[in-house]
Amino acid sequence: MKKRLLILAGGMASRMKKAMAEGGSDLDPSLVAQANSVTKGMIQVGKNGKTLIDYQLYNAHLAGIEEVMLLLHPTDSVSQEYCESLMAKDACWGLQIVFARQQIPADREKPAGTADAVYQVLMQHDSWQTGRVIVCNSDNLYSVNALKLLWSSNETQALISYHRDSLLYPAERISAFALIRTDADGYLLEIIEKPTQEQADELMAQLGRLGVSMNIFVFESSTFLPFLAATPFHSVRNEKELPTSVAMFGEGTGKGFYAIPLAENVPDLTSKEDILVMQKYLEETYGDF
């Protein structure tokens, strides 16, 4: 069975395209232009013009991943050509990179959410409908360790539960991250979006730690596909969201995704303000790569 990674890169990146806070920063104008025009994975945040996807692919390679699927927006004219050029130059460590497009229904202006994205990938590629798949966001740089932990888990369905105190974000931002509630054996019961302080305090009292979901999961495709198909639209955001599918799995099988605890930071590239932070992290962590 191939070790597979699905990177969800089909969003609209609306927060990245917003103007920076008044006063600006030292961000290179060329990077501002990229942030306004290309998908987040194609922003050249690294040395010598390396994009975020270069680092994602590098970590995937180090984790033993063999095949990477990029789920792209139907209008993305940059990412596939870039990755195909890497393969043509033998510059992606032997990784096989394949592609899917998240088609937008005629009655919508935006994609229908991350659960719909994963569902479309599996339906577009028959070979991905069986076997395990790791799925993650395109605007986070997940570590080699996180990828290895997921793939080597004895539990077929699992997610990483990040220690909230290990995430290096402003406190206000961290407080809005989704919290993970598990049973006594570590199986997911609930993903709590935008938790209140009371909910956080209750979880700390119950579990002795606050686990945060950063949207990285592993699942068996054939088992999980029916839950993706049945995922409803969110009542407020009007999207089919992958965390909802993950939570539904436990309700349908009696045992939810297993939550693997991990204490480390997850660099993020959501807005223009994140670009300088990501650049510093990449320089400190990867050196001249």
E strand or H helix that includes residue 39: none
Structure tokens at 55: 């680092």
DSSP-derived 3-state class of residue 170 = coil
Torsional class of 13: left (φ above 0), alpha (ψ -120 to 50), beta (otherwise): left
Residue 239: what pLDDT? 96
Residue 11: what pLDDT? 84
- pTM for the model stands at 0.96
Q: Is 62 exposed, middle or buried (0-12, 13-18, 19+ CB in 10 A)?
A: middle
Residue 22: what pLDDT? 60
Helices (H), the chain: 29-35, 52-62, 79-88, 114-124, 144-152, 171-174, 197-207, 221-230, 242-253, 273-286
CA angle (236 as vertex; 201, 75 as ends), nearest 5: 115
**Shortest CA distance to 190 belongs to which of 173, 172, 206, 166?**
206
Question: 125: number of CA atoms within 13 Å, CB side?
Answer: 24
User: How would you write the pLDDT of the chain (289 residues) with one tens digit per residue?
Assistant: 899 999 999 987 888 988 887 655 689 999 999 999 999 999 999 999 999 999 999 999 999 999 999 999 999 999 999 999 999 999 999 999 999 999 999 999 999 999 999 999 999 999 999 999 999 999 999 999 999 999 999 999 999 999 999 999 999 999 999 999 999 999 999 999 999 999 999 999 999 999 999 999 999 999 999 999 999 999 999 999 999 999 999 987 779 999 999 999 999 999 999 999 999 999 999 998 8
CA angle (108 as vertex; 104, 239 as ends), nearest 5: 85
Residue 174: what pLDDT? 95
Rounded Cα distance, 35 and 286, in Å: 22
Phi, psi at residue 15, to the nearest 5°? -70, -35
DSSP secondary structure string, 63-100? TT--EEEEEE-TT--SHHHHHHHHHHTT-STT-EEEEE
CA angle (72 as vertex; 40, 93 as ends), nearest 5: 75
DSSP secondary structure string, 121-140? HHHH-GGGGSSEEEEEESSB
